Structure 1
């Protein structure tokens, strides 16, 4: 970018040029980090398996693998999902359950990535390509944000199953299987 407006003071032109240099440097660093993530995803079998899950992208897969390490440290997919903060808060007593919004405890970055992935799945969903029937029926009954968090929870549980069982993710018509 060339700044050639004669009306701008020289000090302002120099400052803008310095900001542009910083921006170019940051963009170069981001491109380098992006290539590193891509290279790691191609090498790591766990990342390859996670990327196969509809709604889990390359950034989410690499973040899950980097943060979780061994998924067997969690006893179940629900425990992993709770660790991410994707389960409802509970205030229950006297045998009466009171479930509230999601707890938001745990790893905020991975939770955010899974929620964005769920949002993308729902955005591209239509009558002809609903990923699963429960999602389509839930969309009819509940608020869109509730459905997004429910799908993110499902993505987390599926990711745990793929990692803990060291198996591939297979998607059949209307259902998913970890095989």
Structure 2
């Protein structure tokens, strides 16, 4: 145990252990408590089973969409993210460039005309909020699970001295361009094509 002041708190830990040995739990209505716990576990298993069934049905539907297999080639971009993005954005081949895709999600940049922030450049948020939400969550997941996105994120923060939030939005734009680029090229995601040009440009 460590306290804010840096002390180890060994004496406090010993006191807690001593009191724990002498303490006793609730002995009233043990049967009812066990029944409540069993009901909660049964409810958890029921909901978990429903969610698994839904995930399987979504995966089956994605199997019928040709471009879904291309999107799956991006490590970390799971079934739910792909389904949510396609459901909100529609056929990605209709977008000529990632900028159009970002505009659909309301993630394009716009000038703020409010009294307090007049002239500042902000994210417009004039688009599909569900698409915006899942693109953002997908980017966060990719930063944590995909080596390519993690490398770019760290380069933005450590080398280019961007804020963490700004780096995330930068990567969000990159994800949009990658998604549109994949469906137009009819190719799978290739880390080398993403990292090497980025590193050279940096």
Normalised by the size of structure 1, how large is the TM-score?
Answer: 0.69
CA–CA separation in structure 2 for the residues paired with 1:20 and 1:136: 41
CA offset at residue 133 of structure 1? 8.2
- Superposed CA deviations along residues 31-59 of structure 1, whole A, max 9, x for unmatched, are 10111222233342211111223553322
SS at match of 1:169: coil
Residue equivalent to 1:168: 187
- Superposed CA deviations along residues 121-155 of structure 1, whole A, max 9, x for unmatched, are 43457xxx655986554323210111111111211
Answering whether residue 121 of structure 2 is matched by residue 99 of structure 1, we say yes
Report the aligned-residue RMSD.
3.4
Aligned residues: 164
Further displaced range: 165-174 or 21-30: 165-174
CA–CA separation in structure 2 for the residues paired with 1:36 and 1:77: 29
Between structures 1 and 2, the one with greater strand share? 1
Residue equivalent to 1:33: 54
Q: In the alignment, which of 142, 151, 154 is matched to residue 174 of structure 2?
A: 154
Residue equivalent to 2:85: 64
Distance 1:13 1:133, change over 3 A: closer
CA–CA separation in structure 2 for the residues paired with 1:70 and 1:121: 22
Unaligned runs of at least 5 residues, structure 1: none
Unaligned runs of at least 5 residues, structure 2: 1-25, 198-202
Normalised by the size of structure 2, how large is the TM-score?
Answer: 0.62
The structure showing larger relative contact order (alpha-carbon pairs under 8 Å, at least 6 residues apart) is: 1
CA–CA separation in structure 1 for the residues paired with 2:52 and 2:150: 36
Distance 1:106 1:18, change over 3 A: farther
Say whether the 8 Å CA contact 1:135–1:147 is kept in structure 2.
yes
Further displaced range: 57-66 or 10-19: 10-19
